[in-house]
């Protein structure tokens, strides 16, 4: 796992001292993503930068990596991520006459493009099984390709300029170049307030995100986007027992592939079905005893208060799994003081590059990753299983399912509208924005075929599943990547294996709920691997701290902000509405949102125009 960046300018030579310094500055912003090594490659109109976190072939996988032709670099690659089937691809390419100088997956990707991608890059990238984002410069064609994995696990941004493009794994790499403007407009503010509606745009004016499953081609003639993968209707014909067996087969194969690493590996264990199944399979196939880590809060289990999304504390179930499976387990216990530590909150903002927050959920995840990184360089996560198998309570809430909008989003959900100036709220028209994004997403949903297509509920659930996989999941994957890579920790997500996603997405909703519970297929596929307490456990959300000390500290900081007339966010706020928000007991997530927006505007020196 690494960080990449670059600069293409078809009207100038980027080899001068000033431009070399700028590409070095851009590359330096990615140092925490790649603490082990770094490098740049500059030739004429192209400048590529790379920072490396060494996972596979520690000595041989240095980048930027070139493929020579007639004594000159023909293809130059900067790559981040993992290609899990690189060994099979290497064998196929070797049989076709390719010769390799390293044992890294990066070199396999480079040769795959030489062999299969010369006429159409979609052919080459479709061969890859993994999580990745990379840039490939063809010095013969004078063409740059920006390529992102199918589900959007690894981030990749670009910024069109007058004569080319800037790109980077994170916005901060692009913003390190003087050509990039630090500006946010009304569209960026809408994205800030409703980021689970349109995860493919950015908050910075003029900056774009490479969509999952897409390639961006940059030439002197302009910028072109093309899709190489999308969710389709598979015409599923397997019965429930056959479907359960196939899910198990795919999970076993995926976990085995994702255990490959030349560095210490662990799992993130919550005691829920997803992470427990993943941990059990990892323990079964690993050559060494698996280390597992779980998050906890001071006094959380003893003082736990159940809620609609979180009915049971994780701790007892985590211990059940660790004992049943036999992991080398560690609990990471956090306090309110740690979550409100200004340095931690600044670190999470810097990691995400966005005025987006999940409050203590971000801080706790960052601190969990920091603790894990002291022991492991790679961790497996259960992210995406809820979106794939139907784990969230929204899937089984008839009112939410039938409502003609995103099922997870109410206009009042955590976006602090009441704290904003009424004129601004009217101008932003968030209900209209959400409806536009919702209609756009629905237009992408592949039509249901086969016997299930006659059932209106099946058709609607196909839409719901698509919305969760393409709109709800990407921000969560981005959050996990940013907060982990800020600490040089690679987090892998087995439930995002595209073969598993394709297969499960294609199954009828009746299959996914055949036992009248959430995640029926997953539960049936792995029930023999886990203690019955976990098999029977109802879905419980990622834990939020329940210590009243945290709420008091949050309110105190928000009060101080409201009293600061020079605050960057002050022109956006309604004082009366903000004080009403502060006094509400059920919407502190909105308070977190405003505080993070203030920090973002200040720390990033962003010009806001709405």
Q: Which residues are catalytic?
A: 2
Report yes or no: 298 and 333 within 8 Å, Cβ to Cβ: yes
Distance CA 272, CA 392 (A): 12
Distance of CA 141 to the CA centre of its chain: 32
CA nearest to 467, candidates 388, 545, 411: 388
The sign of the dihedral angle between the CA atoms of 208, 405, 569, 185 is positive
Q: Is 276 helix (H, G, I), strand (E, B) or coil?
A: helix
- The span from the first CA to the last CA of the chain, in angstroms, equals 37
Q: Which residue do the tokens 């000390």 mark?
A: 549
Distance CA 187, CA 201 (A): 9
DSSP codes of every residue in 147-161: EE-SS--S--EEEEE
Distance CA(43)–CA(15), nearest Å, equals: 6
What are phi and psi for residue 365, nearest 5 degrees?
A: -65, -40
Block residue for tokens 């001071």: 298
HSE-up of 111 (CA within 13 Å, CB side)? 22
Q: How many other CB atoms are there within 10 angstroms of residue 256's CB atom?
A: 16
328-334/291-297 β-pairing: parallel
Rounded distance, CA 131 to CA 149, Å? Answer: 5
In the three-class reduction of DSSP (H, G, I as helix; E, B as strand; rest coil), residue 209 is classed as strand
């Amino acid at each position: 796992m690494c960080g990449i960046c670059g600069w293409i300018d078809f009207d100038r030579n980027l080899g001068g001292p000033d431009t070399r310094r700028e590409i070095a500055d851009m590359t330096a912003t990615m140092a925490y993503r790649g603490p082990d090594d770094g490098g740049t490659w500059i030739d004429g109109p192209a400048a590529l930068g790379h920072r490396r976190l060494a996972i596979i072939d520690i000595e041989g996988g240095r980048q930027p990596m070139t493929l020579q032709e007639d004594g000159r670099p023909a293809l130059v690659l900067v790559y981040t991520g993992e290609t899990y089937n690189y060994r099979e691809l290497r064998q196929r390419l070797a049989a076709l006459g390719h010769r390799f100088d390293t044992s890294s997956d990066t070199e396999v990707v480079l040769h795959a493009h030489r062999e299969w991608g010369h006429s159409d890059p979609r052919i080459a990238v479709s061969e890859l099984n993994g999580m990745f984002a990379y840039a490939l410069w063809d010095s013969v064609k004078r063409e740059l390709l920006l390529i992102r994995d199918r589900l959007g696990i690894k981030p990749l941004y670009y910024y069109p300029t007058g004569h080319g493009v800037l790109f980077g794994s994170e916005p901060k790499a692009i913003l390190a170049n003087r050509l990039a403007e630090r500006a946010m407009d009304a569209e960026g503010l809408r994205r800030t307030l409703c980021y689970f509606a349109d995860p493919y745009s950015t908050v910075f004016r003029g900056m774009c995100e490479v969509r999952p499953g897409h390639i961006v081609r940059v030439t002197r003639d302009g910028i072109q986007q093309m899709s190489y993968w999308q969710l389709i209707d598979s015409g599923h014909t397997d019965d429930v027992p056959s479907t359960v067996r196939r899910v198990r087969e795919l999970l076993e194969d995926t976990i085995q592939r994702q255990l490959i690493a030349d560095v210490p590996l662990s799992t993130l264990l919550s005691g829920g079905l997803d992470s427990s199944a993943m941990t059990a399979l990892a323990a079964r196939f690993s050559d060494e005893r698996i280390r597992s880590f779980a998050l906890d809060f001071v006094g959380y289990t003893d003082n736990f208060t159940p809620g609609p999304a979180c009915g049971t504390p994780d701790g007892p179930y985590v211990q059940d799994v660790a004992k049943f499976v036999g992991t080398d387990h560690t609990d990471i216990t956090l306090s309110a003081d740690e979550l409100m530590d200004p340095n931690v909150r600044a670190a999470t903002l810097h990691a995400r590059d966005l005025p987006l927050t999940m409050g203590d959920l971000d801080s706790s995840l960052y601190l969990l990753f920091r603790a894990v990184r002291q022991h492991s360089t790679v961790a497996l996560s259960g992210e995406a299983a809820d979106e794939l198998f139907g784990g969230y309570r929204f899937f089984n809430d008839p009112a939410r399912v039938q409502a003609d909008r995103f099922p997870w989003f109410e206009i009042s959900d955590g976006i602090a509208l009441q704290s904003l100036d009424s004129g601004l709220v009217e101008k932003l028209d968030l209900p209209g924005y959400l409806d536009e994004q919702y209609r756009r997403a629905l237009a992408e949903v592949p039509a249901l075929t086969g016997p299930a297509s006659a059932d209106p509920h099946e058709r609607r659930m196909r839409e719901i599943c698509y919305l969760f996989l393409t709109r709800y999941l990407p921000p969560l994957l981005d959050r996990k990547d940013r907060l982990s890579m800020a600490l040089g920790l690679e987090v892998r997500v087995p439930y995002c294996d595209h073969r598993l996603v394709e297969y499960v997405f294609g199954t009828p909703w009746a299959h996914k709920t055949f036992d009248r519970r959430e995640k029926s297929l997953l539960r049936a596929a792995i029930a023999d691997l886990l203690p019955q307490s976990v098999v029977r456990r109802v879905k419980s959300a990622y834990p939020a701290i329940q210590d009243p000390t945290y709420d008091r500290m949050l309110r105190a900081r928000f009060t101080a902000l409201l009293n600061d007339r020079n605050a960057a966010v002050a022109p956006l706020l309604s004082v009366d509405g903000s004080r009403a928000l502060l006094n509400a007991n059920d919407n502190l997530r909105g308070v977190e949102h405003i505080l993070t927006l203030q920090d973002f505007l200040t720390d990033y020196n962003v010009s806001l125009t709405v």
